[in-house]
Amino acid sequence: MTPLVPKITDAGLRAIINAQADGLEARISHVALGDAKGYVPSGSETALRRERVRVPIGGGERIAPHELRVEAIVDDGPSFWVREVGFVLEDGTLFAVWSDPDTPLAYKTAGVPLALAYYLALQGVPPDSVNITISGPTVNLTVDGPIIALAASVIALQRRVVATEVARLTPEIEAMWA
């Protein structure tokens, strides 16, 4: 999956500096979605241009010193094109913002939950200076179980095919050696 590369805001950078001065890390707690016409974030943003919904993070982890996986679920709210995404710190500071002038990220349909899973590439910040706080509904996007079951079925099928071919060829091979 290609990481989402948000623009760290000036306020977000200050939050990192302040947290590190106290021996802490900045902690993202919420994801905000908006529908403002796409734009190129400058870093001076303090809020999304047109926030429609904000949800607590429901899952994720630090993948690497400069990469986080953030998961959330939006289970209510209106229908709209997601054209801007904000990552909000525990104290309400807009840490980072993503938007694209040409392409929306997703469509949120009213009454239909939208599961979000972002890989955030955090450029221009010290390693391990940002983490997440999980407080929302658990987002279970894990597909390990179904993939393992599918792989086991494929392997079992391959074994049956090989066994059938061995059984079919055994008399011929034994005849060749007789």
| Predicted pLDDT at 99 | 94
**How far is CA 98 from each of CA 34, 139, 150, rounded to the nearest angstrom?**
10, 21, 36
| Predicted pLDDT at 156 | 67
| Predicted pLDDT at 137 | 67
| Predicted pLDDT at 2 | 56
| Predicted pLDDT at 172 | 74
| Predicted pLDDT at 165 | 75
Residue 85 three-state SS: strand
Cα-based angle 32, 34, 37 (whole degrees, multiple of 5): 150
| Predicted pLDDT at 14 | 93
Q: How many Cβ atoms are within 10 Å of 66's Cβ, its own excluded?
A: 18
| Predicted pLDDT at 145 | 54
Residues in the chain with pLDDT < 70? 1-3, 137-152, 156, 178
